[in-house]
Chain A
Amino acid sequence: MNIKTRLEDDKVLGISLETKKFLNSKGVYTIEEFLNIEERNLPVTRSNYYLAMQHIFRHAYLGQELVYDILLEKEYEINKKGCDEFSEDYLKLGLADKLHGKRNIARDMEEWIQNNSEFLTSDKISMKVIVEGLFDRNNISKELYELRHDHSDEISFDEYKTKTDELKKKASRYPGIYLSHVNILKYYKNYINAKKEQKEENKNDTYTLMYLKEQISQLIIQRDNLNNQIEVLQNRVNEILGEKKTNGK
């Protein structure tokens, strides 16, 4: 895939018009330019969504390791502490905008656990399972939508009602966690599927070692770039707080 692809031509996530407009306003027109944008240029209320997109594009366009896959592999205790931790990672994955609030996500999760305790077979649940559940729920929602907008008169009202009730019942078994970005959810779902198909092998051949070495170099570049950004921002914060102190606020 070509990193010089224009945002509107992206097939990996299918960037929305709103996101494209925002990025264009920052002088960003291609995937490559988007990967080089600094975090301070991202909107504070949904920076998590843009960061998740960057990680996905690095994986899809550059063949780099998906940094957030460690979050997809993570497991959470089925209690308040686990739900709080889950909500933080859920936002980090860019599935909902930060603006929506951690507490709201944790509440959705708590509610689902409470209503479906009979289906939970362990005292822990993984992000992977939640992502798969959300994907299935999203498909059911689509079916429901199509049913509601089916004006073909091919089904009677009773049939419609039975089908709707069945679908609603089916959907309630899957987590009803607030979701803003279905495109990101789909990417994670495909990633999880692809990983399942891969055989877990620890080959010590030259090719594998070279590949892993290259991944390390790329991750180190990413980390160092973040360190530089932290330094700049920390200086800015010190400056602001210093000025505040000087002005006696």
Chain B
Amino acid sequence: MENNLSVEQIKKLIEQLKLEIIDKENKIEELLQIINDELEEEDNENI
């Protein structure tokens, strides 16, 4: 696919992938925070 694209277009694609990676990392951090909060809540209830 990339063979038909110009350098400029490939650079745009790279930029888009970087943004996607950052978004996905944010999503993971959000999910980890939920898990962490839930586990903490559970621990507090068990005390």
Contacts and interface: CB of A to CB of B under 8 A. Distances in A.
Interface string A69-108: 1110000000000000000000010000010000000000
Interface of B: 2-3, 6-8, 10-11, 13-15, 17-22, 24-29, 31-36, 38-39
B36 A65 contact: no
A216 B1 CA distance: 11
A229 B14 CA distance: 21
Contacts of A215: 14
B17 A219 contact: yes
Interface in A208-248: 208-209, 212-213, 215-216, 219-220, 222-223, 226-227, 229-230, 233-234, 236-237, 240-241, 244
Contact of B28 (A98, A208, A226, A244): A226
A169 interface: no
Which interface class (under 10, 10 to 19, 20 to 34, 35 or more) fits A?
35 or more
Contacts of A213: 2, 10
Interface stretch (A14-22, A44-52, A139-147, A158-166): A44-52
Interface string A140-182: 0000000000000000000000000000000000000000000
A40 interface: yes
Given A39-B29, A68-B18, A219-B17, 19 more contacts: A39-B25, A40-B32, A51-B25, A70-B15, A92-B22, A92-B25, A98-B29, A212-B10, A212-B14, A216-B2, A220-B17, A222-B21, A223-B20, A226-B21, A226-B25, A233-B32, A236-B31, A240-B34, A241-B38
